[in-house]
């Protein structure tokens, strides 16, 4: 057998190759997911956690956990892709995951930001797909993205720390996802909120493995052949989430305001009032169930509408009751856009954002009224609903009847014309005027001009002259 000389340059080459292989072939957690010690033979439940974290989603997860416990499920997987949402809804989901005895895995397909990071930390295992991220859990208020006051940040830090400790993860890293002032040696310097990529999360022990799909995850845990149940949201849960979207909220506010306006313009209660009532129910109902609207805000809106109705049907004119009603209606809509708790409101950023949203809605409302008032009455569709015949001159309609055949006809003044009076023309009494002269009764006159209902005459002698 031929011997290989490992001295000199050859030895150096082999040494470099070995070092390179050791770096590129370094074992990672990609294929090192530790299986659960013991899993039942039940089905695997898969729950989608995407979009905004709200009360509708927390209701869905509660129902999924209850069904999984009833079926003695072997595993509960959260298919995660969210940028966050309501903190109180996320806390409900966190508690539900920590309380269940079923093994849970958060599979972060793309994003687990803010409230999504808190929910993922509550799972027994965190698995991330390539290109995913987790972190940025700073509490913000309103829709403007401004950081909430420190008391909210402190509460979120405590939640992240306690959840990380409950599942054996580094609490310092979890807190750094909330507080930009925290520094973690070798991870992040002060002044930045921590967000981790898949590789970073695996290297730091936040994530247990990098796996490309749910199928690969189930194979890695040894339950690839187990029955799967994709637990979907119920109709009520989907409805709550649908009507909680900001775009639809603006449309519903326009329905309320437009319905109230047109109802005030017409006697009785009709279609406009029904439209306003439906808009109010769809606006306040789902938001109240989602925890975005307090009961006192609904009461303020109802009181405002009651004052407007009292102004119309009870109190004559338009005064204190009407102005107070409009103020309370607008105030209730504005407050419902702010994430307040009871009578505790956030700082000016969220209030300013809600004010801007309400102002835009009011501008759209005024534009809608202008469009409806100017263009809809002229449309063919509106003419089919309302009796609106064409009374133009082409159809034979005029404001007065013109008797052109009277031009040049003579008659006798029945009354003194001073300058108006009556003239007899072949037994027909006609109201006439002169050009300014007074003509005595019994004088023969001649009609010299007919214009609409105006018939002008002159004495015959003047006409002859």
pLDDT tens profile 376-392: 556 565 555 555 556 55
pLDDT at res. 344: 61
Whole-number Å distance between alpha carbons of 107 and 155: 26
Q: How confident is the model at residue 246 (pLDDT cuts 50, 70, 90)?
A: low
Whole-number Å distance between alpha carbons of 188 and 51: 28
Lowest mean pLDDT among 63-72, 114-123, 277-286, 295-304: 277-286
What is the CB neighbour count within 10 angstroms for residue 79? 17
**Taking 90 as the threshold, does the pLDDT of residue 112 lie above it?**
yes
**Taking 50 as the threshold, does the pLDDT of residue 70 lie above it?**
yes
pLDDT at res. 208: 94
Tell me: cis bond preceding 143? Omega within 30 of 0 counts. Answer: no
Share of the chain above pLDDT 90, in %: 30
Most distant CA pair in the chain, distance = 155
pLDDT at res. 213: 94
Whole-number Å distance between alpha carbons of 314 and 441: 58
135-145 tens-digit pLDDT: 998 877 655 55
**Taking 90 as the threshold, does the pLDDT of residue 283 lie above it?**
no
Tokens of 329: 């209606």
SS3 272: helix
**Taking 70 as the threshold, does the pLDDT of residue 1 lie above it?**
no
**Taking 90 as the threshold, does the pLDDT of residue 75 lie above it?**
yes
pLDDT at res. 298: 84
């Amino acid at each position: 057998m031929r011997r290989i000389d490992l001295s000199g340059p050859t030895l150096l080459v082999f040494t470099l190759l070995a070092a390179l292989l050791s770096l590129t072939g370094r074992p990672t957690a990609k294929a090192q997911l530790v299986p659960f010690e013991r899993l039942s033979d039940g089905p695997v439940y898969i729950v989608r956690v995407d979009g905004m974290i709200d009360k509708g989603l927390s209701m869905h997860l509660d129902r999924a956990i209850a069904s999984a416990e009833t079926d003695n499920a072997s595993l509960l997987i959260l298919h995660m892709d969210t940028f966050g949402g309501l903190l109180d809804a996320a806390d409900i989901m966190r508690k539900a995951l920590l309380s269940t005895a079923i093994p849970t895995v958060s599979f972060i397909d793309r994003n687990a930001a803010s409230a999504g990071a808190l929910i993922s930390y509550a799972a027994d295992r965190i698995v991330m797909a390539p290109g995913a991220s987790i972190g940025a859990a700073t509490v913000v208020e309103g829709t403007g993205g401004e950081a909430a006051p420190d008391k909210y940040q402190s509460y979120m830090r405590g939640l992240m720390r306690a959840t990380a400790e409950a599942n054996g993860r580094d609490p310092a890293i979890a807190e750094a996802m909330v507080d930009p002032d925290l520094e973690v040696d070798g991870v992040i310097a002060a002044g930045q909120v921590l967000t981790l990529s898949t590789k970073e999360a695996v290297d730091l022990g936040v994530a247990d493995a990098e796996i490309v799909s749910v199928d690969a995850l189930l194979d890695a845990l040894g339950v690839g052949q187990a029955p799967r149940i994709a637990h979907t949201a119920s109709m009520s849960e989907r409805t709550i989430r649908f009507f909680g979207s900001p775009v639809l909220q603006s449309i519903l506010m326009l329905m309320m305001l437009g319905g109230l306006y047109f109802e005030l313009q017409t006697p009785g209660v009709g279609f406009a009032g029904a439209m306003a009532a439906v808009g109010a129910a769809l606006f306040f109902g789902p938001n109240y169930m989602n925890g975005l609207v307090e009961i006192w805000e609904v009461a303020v809106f109802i009181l405002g509408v009651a004052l407007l109705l009292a102004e119309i049907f009870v109190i004559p004119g338009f005064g204190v009751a009407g102005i107070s009603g409009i103020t309370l209606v607008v105030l209730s809509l504005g407050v419902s856009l702010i994430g307040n708790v009871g009578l505790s409101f956030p700082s000016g950023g969220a209030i300013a954002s809600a004010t801007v949203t309400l102002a835009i809605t009011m501008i759209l409302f005024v534009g809608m009224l202008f469009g409806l008032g100017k263009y809809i009455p002229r449309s063919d569709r509106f003419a089919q609903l309302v009796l609106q015949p064409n009374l133009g001159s082409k159809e034979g309609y005029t404001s007065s009847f013109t008797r052109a055949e009277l031009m040049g006809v003579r008659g006798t003044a029945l009354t003194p014309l001073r300058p108006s009076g009556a003239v007899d023309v072949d037994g027909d009494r006609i109201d006439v005027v002169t050009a300014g002269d007074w003509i005595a009764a019994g004088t023969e006159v001649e009609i010299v001009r007919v214009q609409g209902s105006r018939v002008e005459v002159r004495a015959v002698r003047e006409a002859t002259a």
